[in-house]
Chain A
């Protein structure tokens, strides 16, 4: 735990216990989404499925990176992860995704993905709002994750044909915003 770092955040007026609960919930959402992307990947087959497999794989790795980046901040602030995986799953900030009844229904998969990403965008926007100008390190982390979640939402939204495409798949290394927290 980083004692003075926590004190500074408290002194700035942030309810650190509430913030920690939110960070744990969002870490759980990242890990459960990573799991969903993993089972999704093996079902993304055929002409439609293979077409989005690569971009889904990027989102899978980046969501796992978000989990990895959140955990140290939780412990720095004096928080901790639940002792059992089921409790962690059940505390997720977003309803855990699941494969559609028909695992070859690519559109249903995409709709579930875009909803998961939208939930994440809402969650990190909220954390940014809570911490802006008060908890600089958490803000920086939440903003980095938010940048990537917004791109994920855009990718899947565009696959669903919700609007013209202003985005392209990731070029270069994954997690261009979050990678600085992983070194």
Chain B
């Protein structure tokens, strides 16, 4: 399965024609074509390009509504790229 960094996830925010991806339970789902995720926004409260694992706990629906979307890949917990603490 393709590995996706948090930076890649953040870039897929559904704005300005970009794809809309969401993270849930270690996986990344593509919600681009969903009526309920237009312009990367869902029910005024949730934004694409984020890991929504915690937010889903408070949602009025279960994980099955996320899991019906195509899986893009596996979410890698930390962003890759250069360290910000090196000298």
Contact = CB atoms under 8 A, between A and B. Distances in A.
Interface string B11-47: 0000000000000000000000001101000011100
B52 to A, nearest CB: 15
Interface of B: 35-36, 38, 43-45, 58-61
Nearest to B34: A95
Nearest to A90: B38
A22 interface: yes
A155 to B, nearest CB: 21
A95 B35 contact: yes
A66 interface: no
B40 to A, nearest CB: 14
24 contacts: A18-B44, A18-B45, A21-B44, A22-B43, A22-B44, A22-B45, A25-B43, A25-B44, A92-B35, A93-B36, A93-B43, A94-B36, A95-B35, A95-B36, A96-B35, A122-B60, A123-B43, A123-B60, A125-B60, A126-B43, A126-B59, A126-B60, A129-B58, A129-B60
Interface of A: 18, 21-22, 25, 90, 92-96, 122-123, 125-126, 129
A126 B55 CA distance: 13
A22 B61 CA distance: 16
Contacts of B36: 93-95
A96 B58 CA distance: 24
Contacts of B60: 122-123, 125-126, 129
Contacts of A122: 60-61
Contacts of B45: 18, 22
